[in-house]
Homo-oligomer: A and B are copies of this chain.
Amino acid sequence: MPLYYQLAQQLEAAIERGRLAPGSLLGNEIELAGRLGLSRPTVRQAIQSLVDKGLLVRRRGVGTQVVHSQVKRPLELSSLYDDLEAAGQRPATRVLRHTVRPATAEVAAALGVAEGADVLLLERLRYAHDEPMAYLRNHLPAGLVDCASADLEATGLYRLMRAGGTTLHSARQSVGARRATGEEAVLLGEETGAPLLTMERVTFDDTGRAVEFGSHVYRASRYSFEFQLLVRP
């Protein structure tokens, strides 16, 4: 483990345990470096990573302070399955469709493949505590992941993609709302016309290639997106 990373973790732990009180000054960087036997750039790198996380604030001429509020995680590219599991919601998945078919114009444009090229279509119903939660439709370039329906019932798609060697890098998301169609209402146990949260997402790997196009609907009565934003300096 790099030294700056170890130091960042120690500081983060000290903040979380309240050993560094909110608003308290961290002590100046040079003295801190000397006390720890590190160089100042190394100490700065550790502090900077916590500033990026929103745990610390630096002010020139003043010092480095612990932020007052309890900052949670900023928005990440997260997996619904993992989020539900972390929240103790007993996630489960029913795979409704799992086939290869030619890309429509919309899917081809989103994934950056030729129209008519083979794409994997996944349709899944995601449950939490045995209640339907979301209806997930995903399109993936053919051959990217090699998974059985059984895998998809046991875990999330992102985890399968990572396990298959795909390095997820970024995603472009759009969140909106609309009324449920009759079919969606039946699947999700809502009334026709009930409000649904919609999320469209194109995910890219670290070479910039689109690796997934998702078009999902969530029961607005049981789901909302929560996230933390940081202001870019």
Contact = CB atoms under 8 A, between A and B. Distances in A.
Interface string A10-34: 0000000000001100000000000
A176 B225 contact: yes
Number of this chain's copies in the complex:
2
Interface residues of A, number: 51
A164 interface: no
18 contacts: A57-B169, A67-B169, A67-B206, A67-B208, A68-B204, A68-B207, A69-B170, A71-B170, A71-B208, A74-B170, A171-B229, A174-B226, A176-B225, A177-B195, A178-B195, A178-B221, A179-B195, A198-B224
Interface of A: 22-23, 41, 54, 57, 65, 67-69, 71-72, 74-77, 112, 168-179, 193, 195-198, 204, 206-210, 220-221, 223-232
